[in-house]
Amino acid sequence: MRKLLLLIGLAVSALLLTQCRSGRAAKTQRHLNYVSDIQPLVANKCTPCHIPDKGGKVEALNTYTSVKSHIDDIIRRIELNPGEKGYMPFKKPKLSDSAINVFKQWKTDGMLENAD
């Protein structure tokens, strides 16, 4: 009886372990990229000010190169709170945690331009 319980215990742990593994693998499968993840967010949240086509007059953030070269400043500014010096998006509500995480994850993933 003891042995049987031990076996069942082992089987259950093995099952849980494999499920954890596959869950983690699924999460890290896709790397964020500029075209699918960053550009739509900037176009939506940083317009019109940073989009020259829309009449933006400050630093253009409408290209892969410009966003990439400003990524640290972007992350720093969007993590500030409204009213703090340098806060972005200027005079607009703070981005959601998930939107902020998209910028951070994109940086972690190596700032790809297109889907890999």
Burial class (CB in 10 A: 0-12, 13-18, 19+), 57: exposed
Q: Pick the piece of the chain touching ligand HEC (CB under 6 A) from 16-24, 29-37, 68-76, 104-112.
A: 68-76
How many CB atoms neighbour CB 74 within 10 A?
A: 22
Q: Token match 């499968």: residue?
A: 29
Rounded least distance, CB 115 to ligand HEC, Å: 22
Any idea what the Cα angle at residue 98 is, between residues 97 and 99, rounded to 5°? 90
Q: Pick the piece of the chain touching ligand HEC (CB under 6 A) from 11-19, 20-28, 29-37, 66-74.
A: 66-74
Is the previous residue joined to 89 through a cis bond, with omega within 30 degrees of 0?
Answer: yes
**CB closer to ligand HEC out of 23 and 83:** 83
Q: Which of residues 19-48 bind ligand HEC (CB under 6 A)?
A: 45-46
Q: Token match 């693998």: residue?
A: 25
| 77 lies in the binding site for ligand HEC (CB under 6 A) | yes
| 86 lies in the binding site for ligand HEC (CB under 6 A) | yes
Q: Which residues contact ligand HEC by CB under 6 A?
A: 45-46, 49-50, 58-59, 70, 73-74, 77-78, 86, 88-92, 95
